Structure 1
Amino acid sequence: MTAAESVGALVRRPDLGIPRLVGRDRDLSALGQALDERPGLVVVAGEAGIGKTRLLHELLGRRPETALVAVCPPFREPYTLGPVVDAVRRLTDRVTGLPLTGLAGALRPVFPEWAGQLPPAPEPLPDAAAARHRLLRALVELVDALGVGLFVVEDAHWADETTLELLLFLRARPERSPRLVLTYRPEDVRPQSLLRRLVAQAGVTRLEPGPLDIAGTADLVSSMLGGEPVSEEFAGFLHDHTDGLPLAVEESVRLLYDRADLVCEDGAWLRRDVAELDVPPSIRDAVLERTSRLGPAARATLAALAVLEGERAPALVAEVAGLPLPEAENGLAEALAGGLLHEDRDARVGFRHMLAARSVHHALGALERGRLHRRAGAALEQELVRRVAELARHFREAGDPDRWAAYAGQAADHAISSGDPRTAFGLLLDLLAGGAVRGAAVSRLVQRMPLYAAPGNGPLRELVTVLRATAAGELAPPERTEVTWQLARLMFHVGDVEGASAEMERAVPGLVGDRPVAAVHAMMMLARPLGTAHPAAHHRAWLERAGRLVEDRPDPAPEDRLSFLMDRAATLLVLGDPAGWTAARDLPADGRTPGEVLQRARGFANLGEAAMLWGRYADARHRLDAAAALAEEHQHLRLRDLVGATLAHLDWLTGHWSGPRKWQASALDADEPVLRADALLLAGLLDAAHGDHRRARERALAAIAVGRPRGPADGSRDPSAVLARLAIAAGRPAEALAATDAAWRLVETKELWLWAAEIAPLRVRALLETGRAAEAARAATAFAAGTRGADAPVATAARLLTAALLARADGDPGRAAGHFEEAATAWTTLPRPYDALLARESAADCRLAAGEREGAVDVLREVFDGLTGLGARGDADRVRHTLADEGVRVGTRVGRPGYGDRLSPRELDVVRLLVEGRTSGQIARVLGLSPRTVEKHVHSAMRKRDAPSRTALAVAVVESGDVPLPGNAPQPPASTG
């Protein structure tokens, strides 16, 4: 070879092509087989750049079905059902002649260009969830009519929640739905996304393509070089720097090409100099270096596409880039030839890889970004079908608050009409947080916001801050009243009841004259005896004032009057007033307008919860079932779900635990914070019954953090009662007192002793166990006096428990046993079988302490069987150990294995009191055991700790950390009775 030939060989450059699919034969075969043989959902999961989209497109090229391909936008544009709507538009440009029913009229908001081809729009629904459900059914009807056999969603981690609900809807009818395929990145799925629930269902086929090995890397590079071989050294180098990620390999090769660092030597392609070339590990850097080597027109079109997102027509790209169309087309052609862009069947262009689009977008300066977004918004305003959410985004980024606010408002209205209130809330919150709306317009915007769709209390607190700032500004009196009213509503929502009440009282005078309906709502909020320091009489006064305002109105709307009557009955019951039962019986039985139906359903739900507070569980179930039936019939789906949560808790109380287990498992991922909080609390209660108190405590604390604040008026759903019960079971009575302090002070201030039914026995017991016997007696007396005479079964059972605890602490186990047995009977009547069993266990322990062994052992056997049947493994295990101490063996072990050299829970109970200097007799009285049983536990603990004396045992357990240092609170028994 001559010198010239040698030089020519070195500088010869390849013609780069699009890489073929490499190393995916097995995945492709598995995908096809899953679609052919197994109905259900197929998911392709993996990190960015692993080749999910390429694998999917290869599959689509081989399938005979009509495919609907929805691509979720990379920047998570809040456009309800946008990916699916765009996919349908790409599949057909008209729906004339399709076999559609009147239901398809619900599609008009999302396909306005087909208004003349679709049936008339149906009547609006008052519930957003019902509207969303109807829209999804209509969309499924359209998909069926189009003959879609394969429904594909790409980048589902960016899908809006309504699109994911559509997939769940389709999954619920597998025999009639098209086959479903989606791609997503697990690391980018939001914690509460419905996608988690979707991919966790049974019948899902999951593929996770892995990175390429060195041989696969060589094959991919070779496919870009016309099939010519690649040196082993070069392939190894690329694999080391890219970890075999196909996108990173491709971008690195293209960068080497742009640098003229690819050479062919001895028939194999390699890089020019291993020592000198350092391929950037970041794809972003590789993409930006490649774009910097393009001409000005190509760079301008790439910037325009990065701002526009998705696939776009060249004419639109030219307009946004500010180029003549021929020049823009030349720039696009250059970018296409360089492999950065691709072209679809409609001659639209877009980035081949999302990461490339992001890299270009992030590299734009703020001024350039704003300029391009302004051009994009102006260009898209001229389109026949306006995507108002997209326009809102562009004008927000362009710094045009007026047009941002106009389009965001339209997008929010569209989202609400489509049954997607969460997106609407986010759009309007962005306007307020971004300062696009000021002054009196703030309260008008807040009034439009679907507050129930807020993802937690954080965004609501943000709204409170905005409203506070607005209220401090210059406003006319009516405007100030409106802002104050909205601020008070929001403060109620986030749990600042004290502050909200003060703001509400300021707003009422201005509302009475101009907005009487709002005034009644404000007064009814003030009538709710929530977290303020006002006594019950204060709330009753507001209730009566609201009633007078309703009666004074000449013609109140039927639904407004019904709303008041329902709320009045429930409020009286929460105030502990038996007149609420009469008011509930006298409620009108008619009213079939949509507004009246909603008020009846809502009212029955509130009455059901109030009945649970009283312990009238049969009445509660009747009311809640009625609310659930109305909500289901009229598609008030959110209300239906909230009632379902209350029913699940009622099932827990009444011993039907299989239902709550299923409900909480499905609701832990709920989008609604209140549902998620209830699910966490219920899961914590089940964990505690199973013996996992650590996890139960974590769940209860998480419930407090996630949902709206609950208090003693929520009865057994008050997290403070759950935390107190767990603290007592763990031997931390001081912690139990701290958990109930705020609730107890509230009850004392308001003199609403019915609210204390759940916490009174726990607080009395914690006071006794911390040596505050006189205070415990005063608390029990106050509770008994405040609830005596009320026909509230739960209060009756609680009074008997407190009496039993006091008798046991006084050293009278016989009298204590009698009270525990009476409490067990009261719990059984409710029915609350779990609490009844725990009370019977405590009664039997007292009988043992009194020397009545035979009858007590028989009762404990029955309690063990009952707890085991319920599924309360942790409690059953405790009873097993008590029986074992008496020489009685029952069944096979339930729950954790034997304790070996570890101290059992009952031994720890005894040793904690021993460390405090208690005698065996004192320990027996505190724990409700016989002195002989206490001695057994002491000797067993001494043996396990190899302690020759009680003093040595005390030192050993303190040094090991099993028992707190002396001076800490004494340990109560693990039973909650």
Structure 2
Amino acid sequence: MSGTAPGSASGRRAGLGVPRLVGRVRDLSLLGRALDERPGPVVVAGEAGIGKSRLLAELLRQRPETALVAVCLPFREPYTLGPVVDAVRTLAGGVADLSLTGLAGALRPLFPEWADQLPPAPEPLPDAAAARHRLLRALVELIDALGVGLFAVEDAHWADETTLELLLFLCARRAHPRVVLTYRPEDVRPDSLLRRLVAQSGVTRLEPGPMDTAGTADLVSSMLGGEPVSAEFAAFLHGHTDGLPLAIEECVRLLYDRADLVWEDGAWLRRDLAELVVPPSIRDAVLERTSRLGPATGAVLAALAVLEGDQRPTLVAEVAGVSLDEAESGLAEAVAGGLLHEDRGSRVGFRHILAARTVYHALGGLERGRLHLRAGEALEREPVRRVAELARHFREAGDDGRWAVYAEQAADRAVSSGDPRTAFVLLLDVLTGRAARGAAVSRLVQRMPLYAAPGNAPLSELVAALREAADGELTPQERTEAAWQLARLMFHAGDVEAASAEMERIVPGLVRDRPAAAVRAMMMLARPLATAHPAAHHREWLERAGRLVAGPPDPVPEDRLSFLVDRADTLLVLGDPEGWTAARGLPADGTSPGEVLQQARGFANIGEAAMLWGRYGDARQRLDAAAALARRHQYLRLHDLVGATLAHLDWLTGARSAAVHWAASALDADEPVLRADALLLLGLDEAARGDHRQASERVRAAIAVGRPRGPADGSRDPSAVVARLAVAAGRPEEALAATEAAWRLVAAKELWLWAAEIAPLRIRALLATGRVAEARRAAAAFTAGTRGLDAPMAAAAGKLTAALLARAEGEPADAAGRFEEAGAAWAALPRPHDALLAREDAACCRLAAGERDRAVAALREVFDGLTSLGATGDADRVRRRLADEGVRIGGRAGRPGYGDRLSPRELDVVGLLVEGRTSAQIARVLGLSPRTVEKHVLSAMRKRNAPSRTALAVAVVESGDVPPPGNAPRPHLTTG
């Protein structure tokens, strides 16, 4: 279907050919060398129309390997692994002749047409991330079995997240197939995994530039049968197109269609340049060109624009509403005119997405709807139903019934593929678009993976849709179900007060109609969240849930274990020692996957509750057990969440390099709560180093990105961190404001265990502002509320508040002793940083009491301890205090005393270096300048006698100073 040489008898249009690849010899050579000589992925980046796809096509034409080419399309919501699935179908007609293991059974949801050729489907996994990981491993096995040597992805900025995870998975193997992709940087979403992929070390990046005037002349000449083009004409075109290859080509074709360029007597004749009018955009050029085409050609172009991608002529004819002969004639005209291309499978598609988008948006709304309906009905008759595409077509056609059906099927496939986010968005689209009504709304909400919601705004949209449905005509049972789903949604959206009121109202109906849901509702009411209800109120709901579970009918084992886990955890969060007895009584072994997941969740939740009590040894034991179970059974999301809790525990107990290493790796995590925890830890680290401005920015970012935490989260409550920063910076009023809401909540609920983190900070701030009587009342309330609890955290906080009050009352010697007791209590937890700060306060009281020698000796020890811990900002304060006493310690805190050991900051830098981060990336993560990062790298190289950065990375991993990349806690699937 392509054009012929000038002067051909086939007509005027045949005189204009598809341009050769011009001005890209060097780029093509660099790409080939990168694939032959470098192990990492190869990316081609640039704006639309710069020639990325043409460069990739030429590269693939020259390479000997079997290539799998996935083309990403600009769907409103990309369907899970769609580009890869289509590419595999194009490459292979079946898998019957391939050697596949049982793992390949996980591919059945993606390739239902091969069900009789694939192994049996494996047992479903209760964890979406684990299901996704298993699916990716199965897909890689299939790719290997097909002998794919090169995996190419076009327009990766439109790829779904699971496809990007597959790319990261393949890149991490450092083996075949090699990965090469094209993308537009300006169209990459801020949270896309593509940013992580293209920023990793070892990536070869190529950015083709626009054509110069000479290149413009060569490109035009290649379209005109090799005939020369005048410098004047080339300069004219270059000036109107900025050297963008696609724009040059479209302008030449338009000029040719207008007869502004004609071939007569063996030469190209051009009108006076002053008379030529070139449209200002590619869009206008495409529209003018298509307006000159015949009716059949216009019809097939419209059909292709609606279908998107490369399609068979028979399908195009059906959607266009023309005969196959008419369709083939129109397609041939469009291919000859350079608008379309034809692949080796005789499928046709637009040569560039800009042309497709132009044709699509030029259609009227009614015409688009008519074509989408035809496309949907035609695709319904296909042997394999592409349900995501069917949902899209029927949505655009306004056929709500079929849109909802196919969207639900597409969501099911997304969930089975381990892609809950896509499932959530597909169903959200149906519900907010009012394609589902009545009881169907509640049913769909119940099926939605709410944890995958990208923020609270979509949840608020769901609340509105469900409220509207609940006000409609429903049976009593349907109304109860709608109210139950509405209450669940409000809880997830953070509207706890309203959710609690709604849930209390519907519990009787749930007990009657859905006992299992009633237990879940009661347990949500038993959780002491951000309501003003006292602890006794929550305890009453916990007991009611227990009575319901104990009565007939017996719950399934998984539901019973879930209740027992939640009961033990809730008791501990309520400050009830009975929770420890309940925790010890939990079953040690699970049989089904669901029971094992509940067991792992129990270890994780009770470990986190143990941190609230200050039982750090117990917390680590349980969290390590949770991590081991999650790792063994591939509960990847749970593993990531446990990793965040362990990182906070590391921070508190002094393993700060490990905590910062985790935080740096989790900044790009998918889940907001993980990113918030990472930002909070980095803020704490920067505060300890004395950079309070940067620390405050990190904490503000954590509050903005994560779902809100409260005082029950202890050290992970942002208000406690804000107060700590404010106290350290000498801004007591700010500390009081930060803790006010949490303090009121604790007092209303009478859950003083929750105040262990903020009580000393608030009392310091009250004393600093002269509100001594209020400080005494606060301390008395906290002490009375935690009396009798075997909670080391509360005990240490109580000793510290007593010391603060003693100092305020002008009793330095007594205060010194109390601070020392507090320091010993913090050290026993252990929380070494807080212990050192308490000992610093004790030493200052000793100075005030006239015990200089004892105080100076203590301050020296505190200085050494803070320096070793990496808290150089605090150490500088102690150094200045010693200088005031005439005791000089050479240099700035943190620099002396390491010898051949790496300093804490050097360990932070080198840990990120081992991950493959560049100096610029390390600087961004740690809040340093690239020059400072380089200084730390050079210092570490000298200490390890390493001649290069690579040698340094090997040395620190072998020495055990830094864990290898594979052992680092993973913020999401793709780091493993």
Which is further off, 486-495 or 744-753?
486-495
Alignment of structure 1 residues 468-483 onto 2, 5 Å? 468-483=467-482
Could you say if the C-alpha distance between residues 730 and 241 of structure 1 is closer, same or farther in structure 2, counting changes exceeding 3 Å? farther
Q: Which residue of 2 aligns with 1:413?
A: 412
Counterpart residue number, 2:832: 833
TM-score (norm 2): 0.88
Q: How far, CA to CA, are the matches of 1:845 and 1:400 in structure 2?
A: 76
Alignment match, 1:94: 94
Tell whether 2:30 aligns with 1:26.
no
How many angstroms apart in 2 are the aligned matches of 1:504 and 1:658? 44
Separation of aligned partners in 1, 2:765 and 2:591: 51
Name the CA shift for 1:211/1:818 in 2 (closer, same or farther; >3 Å). Answer: farther
1:518-557 → structure 2 map (5 Å cutoff): 518-557=517-556
267-276 vs 681-690, which deviates more? 267-276
Deviation at 1:331, TM superposition (A): 1.3
- Distance in 1, Cα, partners of 2:248 & 2:334: 18
The one-letter amino acid paired with 2:612 is L
Residue identity in the other structure for 2:136? L
Question: Deviations for 1:880-936, whole angstroms, at most 9, x for unmatched residues?
Answer: 33333333333432589xxxxxxxxxxxxxxxxxxxxxxxxxxxxxxxxxxxxxxxx
In structure 1, the residue corresponding to 2:243 is in which secondary structure? Answer: coil
Q: Deviations over 1:359-410 (max 9, x none)?
A: 1112211111111100100111110011000000000000000000110111
State the Cα distance separating 1:271 from its structure 2 match: 5.8
Give 2:236's aligned residue: 237
Range that drifts further, 571-580 or 452-461: 452-461
1:387 corresponds in structure 2 to: 386
Q: Assess if the C-alpha contact under 8 Å between 2:13 and 2:337 holds in 1.
A: no
* Aligned residue number for residue 796 of structure 2: 797
Shift of 1:263: 6.4
Which runs of at least 4 in structure 1 moved beyond 4 Å after TM superposition?
Answer: 263-271
Q: What SS does the corresponding residue of 2:94 show, helix, strand or coil?
A: coil
- Could you tell me how far apart the structure 2 residues matched to 1:169 and 1:842 are? 51
Deviation at 1:618, TM superposition (A): 0.6
Take 1:364 and 1:816, find their aligned partners in 2: how far apart are those partners? Answer: 81
Tell me how far 1:76 sits from its aligned partner. 4.9
Q: Quick check: 2:870–2:894 contact (8 Å CA) kept in 1? A: no
In 1, are the aligned partners of 2:882 and 2:888 still within 8 Å (CA)?
yes
Please say if residues 493 and 708 of structure 1, whose CA atoms lie closer than 8 Å, have aligned partners that are also in contact.
Answer: no
Q: Does the 8 A contact of 1:193 with 1:669 survive in 2?
A: no
Distance 2:270 2:647 in 1: 66
CA gap of 1:15–1:878, structure 2 versus 1, over 3 A, is farther
Tell me the equivalent position of 1:821. Answer: 820
Residue 668 of structure 1: how far off its partner (Å)? 1.5
1: distance between equivalents of 2:883 and 2:339?
75
User: What are the within-5 Å matches in structure 2 for residues 844-855 of structure 1?
Assistant: 844-855=843-854
- Alignment-derived partner of residue 281 in structure 2: 282
SS of the aligned residue for 1:570 comes to: helix
8 Å contact 2:78–2:159 — kept in the other structure? no
The one-letter code sitting in structure 2 at the alignment partner of 1:469 is: E
Matched, 1:646 2:645: yes
Residues 1:230 and 1:622: Cα distance change in structure 2 (over 3 Å): same
Corresponding residue for residue 579 of structure 1: 578
1:643-691: CA deviation from partner (whole Å, max 9, x where unpaired): 1111111111111112222222222111122222222222222222232
CA positional deviation for 1:262: 3.3
- In structure 2, the partner of 1:706 is 705
SS in 1 for 2:179: strand
SS in 1 for 2:435: coil
Which secondary structure does the structure 2 equivalent of 1:61 belong to? helix
Q: Which residue of 2 aligns with 1:717?
A: 716
Cα separation, 1, equivalents of 2:818 and 2:50: 68
Amino acid at match of 1:394: H
Please tell me whether the aligned partners of residues 873 and 894 of structure 1 are also in contact (alpha carbons under 8 angstroms). yes
Counterpart of 2:51 in structure 1 is 51
The 3 A distance-change label for structure 1 pair 695 and 252 is farther
Structure 1 residues 848 and 283 mapped into 2: Cα distance closer, same or farther (>3 Å)?
Answer: farther
Taking the TM superposition and a 5 Å limit, the aligned residue runs for 1:474-623 are 474-623=473-622
Provide closer, same or farther for how the CA distance between residues 232 and 787 of structure 1 changes in structure 2, counting only shifts above 3 A.
same
Deviations 1:527-555 (A, max 9, x none): 11111111000011011111111111242
Quick one: which amino acid aligns to residue 440 of structure 1? A
Secondary structure class of the residue paired with 2:384: coil
Query: 1:448 offset after TM fit, Å?
Result: 0.7
* 1:306-325 C-alpha deviation (Å, 9 max, x unpaired): 11000011111111111111
Distance 1:895 1:283 in 2: 60
Residues 77 and 390, structure 1, Cα contact 8 Å, conserved in 2: no
C-alpha RMSD over aligned residues: 2.0
> Which residue of structure 2 lines up, in the alignment, with residue 634 of structure 1?
633
Structure with higher Rg: it is 1
2:109 equivalent to 1:109: yes
Q: Are 1:158 and 2:158 an aligned pair?
A: yes
Q: Is the 8 A contact 2:300 2:327 kept in 1?
A: yes
Q: Is the 8 A contact 1:780 1:802 kept in 2?
A: yes
Percent identical: 81
Q: Deviations over 1:278-297 (max 9, x none)?
A: 42332212211221122222
The whole-number CA distance in structure 2 between the counterparts of 1:520 and 1:532 is 20
Task: Tell me what 2:218 maps to.
Answer: 219
Q: C-alpha deviations, 1:735-775, integer Å up to 9, x for none?
A: 22111111000000000000001111111122222232211
Cα distance in 2 for residues equivalent to 1:220 and 1:845:
79
CA distance, structure 2, for counterparts of residue 203 and residue 367 of structure 1: 50
Distance 1:729 1:748 in 2: 25
What is the Cα deviation at residue 266 of structure 1?
14
Q: Structure 1 residues 774, 368: closer, same or farther in 2, change over 3 A?
A: same
Letter in 1 for 2:881: T
Q: Given the superposition, is the C-alpha separation of residues 577 and 218 from structure 1 closer, same or farther in structure 2, using an over 3 Å criterion?
A: same
Q: 1:498 to 1:15 in 2, by over 3 A?
A: same
Equivalent position of 1:171 in the other structure: 171
> How far apart, in 2, do the equivalents of 1:520 and 1:484 lie?
15
The within-5 A match list for 1:298-447 is 298-447=297-446
Q: Distance in 1 between matches of 2:596 and 2:393?
A: 41
Q: Which stretch of the first structure deviates more once superposed, 613-622 or 674-683?
A: 674-683
Amino acid at match of 2:121: A
Q: Distance in 2 between matches of 1:349 and 1:187?
A: 28
SS of the residue corresponding to residue 830 of structure 2 reads coil
Residue type at the aligned position of 1:485: W
What secondary structure, in the 3-state scheme, does the structure 2 residue paired with 1:183 have? strand
User: Which of 175-184 and 880-889 deviates more?
Assistant: 880-889
Partner of 2:130: 130
CA contact (8 A) 2:434 2:465 kept: no
**CA separation in 1, counterparts of 2:457 and 2:814?**
51
Distance 1:888 1:288, change over 3 A: farther
Deviates more, 1:292-301 or 1:869-878: 869-878
CA shift in 2, pair 1:786/1:671, >3 Å: same
Counterpart of 2:680, as a letter, is: L
In structure 2, the residue matched to 1:770 is 769
Match of 1:172, SS? helix
CA-to-partner distance for each residue in 1:416-452, whole Å, 9 max, x for gaps? 1111111111110000010001111111100111111
Question: What is the match of residue 966 of structure 1?
Answer: none
Match of 2:190 in 1: 191
Aligned to 2:15, the other structure's residue is in SS state coil
Number of residue pairs aligned between Structure 1 and Structure 2 = 885
Gaps of 5+ in 1: 1-11, 897-977
For 1:735-814, what aligned pairs fall within 5 Å after superposition? 735-814=734-813
For the residue of structure 2 that corresponds to 1:534, the secondary structure is coil
SS at 1:742 equivalent: helix
| Greater CA drift, 534-543 or 133-142 | 133-142
Q: Deviations over 1:492-541 (max 9, x none)?
A: 11211111110110121001122111111111111111111110000110
Contact 1:13/1:262, CA 8 A, preserved across alignment: no
Query: How far apart, in 1, do the equivalents of 2:610 and 2:320 lie?
Result: 65
Deviates more, 1:149-158 or 1:205-214: 205-214
Q: Quick one: distance in 2 between partners of 1:843 and 1:253? A: 83
Partners of 2:256 and 2:262 within 8 A in 1: no
Shift of 1:274: 4.0
Partner SS, residue 75 of structure 2: coil
Shift of 1:412: 0.7
Q: Is the 8 A contact 2:868 2:894 kept in 1?
A: no
Q: Taking structure 1 as reference, are residues 810 and 259 closer, same or farther at Cα in structure 2, changes over 3 Å only?
A: farther
Q: Secondary structure at the match of 2:16?
A: coil
| C-alpha contact (below 8 Å) 1:231/1:270 kept by paired residues | no
Contact 1:217 1:238 in 2 (8 A): yes
Per the alignment, residue 972 of structure 1 pairs with: none
